Amino acid sequence: MFKDHQVSVVVPAYNEEETIQGVVSSFSAEPHVDEVLVVDNNCSDRTAALAREAGARVVEEKEPGYGKALLRGMSEAQGDILVLTEADGSFLARDVIKLLVYLEDAGMVIGTRTTRQLVQQGANMRSLLRWGNVFMAKYLELLWFIKWEPRFTDVGCTFRALWKSTFENIKDSLCESGPAFSPEMMVEVLVKGLRCIEIPVTYSPRLGGDSKHSATFFRQARTAWAMWKVITKKKFLRSAKK
């Protein structure tokens, strides 16, 4: 509970049995968290069972994709505040309070992994990935600069918090199934005239497995292309319809 508001943590998961129990346990122990909800996105291992053992509520999403899993999780979550995180242990439960404090002045608060002092040694935020996120964030910032004046450095960070009312406001406009879902959320919050604030969060090495979106140069390039497309489409196709 945070100032009389229930807080739900949403964790999308695809075959994360190595890490899921630790993630659920750490976020469940965070004093402001009322619910940890894990979205089983077609896991073929013991992720769902281990998440339940650790105390999470588990829901299934059969349509594959990071975006689809998050959309289902946010729809099912019971809290007034939704905190999104990863199942790989790369984000720390202790940073939840940072997001919550800033959320008092915003519709959504997003983490940034581009602050070097908070990127731990071994974390998957090498120079190319870091500057790729900065470039894409500045592109998004430029397109919405005059009206909303956002300040962004990271479009791909899952770790974020938003009001359930913010989600209800933007959910019908969210259609990306992959990692482009993250910048799509940011764009839709801005389009709806809500404040979106970015704060630095600690980014740790993954505790197991490889990233589905950034483990190789090919995956990084594919993710960057998808993000660029959705940001551009949301800006110019929407403008053309007016």
Domains of the chain: 7-241 (3.90.550.10)
Strands 35-40, 7-13: pairing is: parallel
What per-residue confidence (pLDDT) applies to 237? 75
Helices (H), the chain: 20-28, 47-53, 66-76, 96-103, 127-143, 145-148, 164-170, 181-191, 217-241
Asked if 153 and 137 count as a contact pair (C-beta separation under 8 A), the reply is yes
What per-residue confidence (pLDDT) applies to 145? 74
Asked if 15 and 44 count as a contact pair (C-beta separation under 8 A), the reply is yes
| Higher per-residue pLDDT: 30 or 206 | 30
> For the segment 16-74, what is each residue's pLDDT rounded down to a tens digit?
999 999 999 999 999 999 999 999 999 999 999 999 999 999 999 999 999 999 999 99
Average predicted confidence (pLDDT) for the chain: 88
Read off the amino acid at residue 126. R
Q: Is the pTM of this model over 0.85?
A: yes
| Higher per-residue pLDDT: 195 or 218 | 195
Q: What is the DSSP letter of 118?
A: G
User: Distance between CA atoms of 148 and 186, rounded to whole angstroms?
Assistant: 12
pLDDT band at 173 (very low <50, low <70, confident <90, very high): very high
What per-residue confidence (pLDDT) applies to 34? 98
Structure tokens belonging to residue 219: 């995956």
* Burial degree of 4 (CB within 10 A; 0-12, 13-18, 19+): exposed
> For the segment 93-120, what is each residue's pLDDT rounded down to a tens digit?
999 999 999 999 999 999 998 777 767 5
